[in-house]
Amino acid sequence: MALDEATRKQIDSVIGSNRVVLFMKGTRQQPQCGFSATTVGILDTLLPDYATVNVLEDQQIRDAIKAYSEWPTIPQLYIDKEFMGGCDVVKQMFNNGELHAALGVEAPDRTPPEITLSDDAAKMMRDVLEQQAGLAAHLSIDARWQHNFSLAPAEGHEVRSVANGVEIYMDLATAQKARGLRIEVTESLQGTGFRIDNPNAPPPVGQLDAGMLKAALDAGEPLHLLDVRPQEESARASIEGSRLLDEAGVAFIETLPKDTKLVFYCHVGPRSQQAAEYFRLQGYTNVHNLVGGVDAWSQQIDPSVPRY
């Protein structure tokens, strides 16, 4: 695609007005692809705020940014008007400390995490490694706190821990999440596998039904009720005392202690579940979703709230 001058100026303006800009699929709160989610997860560990551009909302920008940077994929990261690269490049820069330097933040802590590996789990890993010469055990913990083991050659930039005689290699983000990890062998219908206990993982999103929410409100329980829908949809039907999860609403949440009780709702539940998951992954430990959304509230608690 040829890059027209008007679109170039539009991109120039965004990059020139913000020190850090991420062109991505989706939003910071709700990434719409795994690569965008990974990049956001990395940036969120380093910066409280940065600009994002959702290319899914503008096909012209989605095509033009590729020509602008001469880079074929999304996401794309710019720092101080300089193009850094896509997801894989950002991951590499994060792991070797170059991203920290580019952002002017403190160098990463590369202290190997202490991991407890049971005897059975250690034997299982050693047996596999003995059959795979030249490969190492790699652990990754993604933005959703899913733990995955794989076999691959060591690349040299990893953090290496030794647990019960077994070397475990991790990228920097995983190493920060793996401190105090406990790994044991478990048996299930699917066969033998690992059971992983991670004390750092945030609690899962709680599920509140309409009656439970009403009881909490009637009892004066301190909580914040967040409506994740667009303003025009919220105007049709909403729960009294709630706050829109718009830009101002997000900024408000970021001022709250991490243990504040947050309850998210939408029309019937799925969108608020996504929003609740996002804030859970930002370290908020008392996050809840209203099951059935405002529609359930209307049917079960307050019929004066219109249904749609």
Catalytic residues: 266
Residue 169 contacts residue 137 (beta carbons within 8 Å): yes
Cα separation, 133 vs 281, in Å, equals 37
- Tell me which DSSP letter residue 26 carries: B
Phi, psi of 140 (to 5 degrees): -130, 140
> 120, 185 in Cβ contact below 8 A?
yes
Copy the structure tokens of residue 95. 């792991």
Q: How many CB atoms lie within 10 A of CB 213?
A: 23
59-69 vs 5-17: helix crossing angle, rounded to 10:
80
Dihedral pair phi/psi, residue 188, rounded to 5°: -145, 180
Read off the DSSP letter of residue 257.
-
Q: Are residues 100 and 61 in contact, defined by beta-carbon separation less than 8 angstroms?
A: no
Edge to edge, the sheet with strand 191-197 lists 116-117, 182-188, 191-197
8 A C-beta contact, residue 177 and residue 147:
no
Task: Determine contact, residues 291/209, Cβ cutoff 8 Å.
Answer: yes
Rounded to whole angstroms, what are the CA distances from 297 to 136, 143, 241, 287, 293? 52, 32, 13, 19, 7
Residue 76 structure tokens: 């794309």
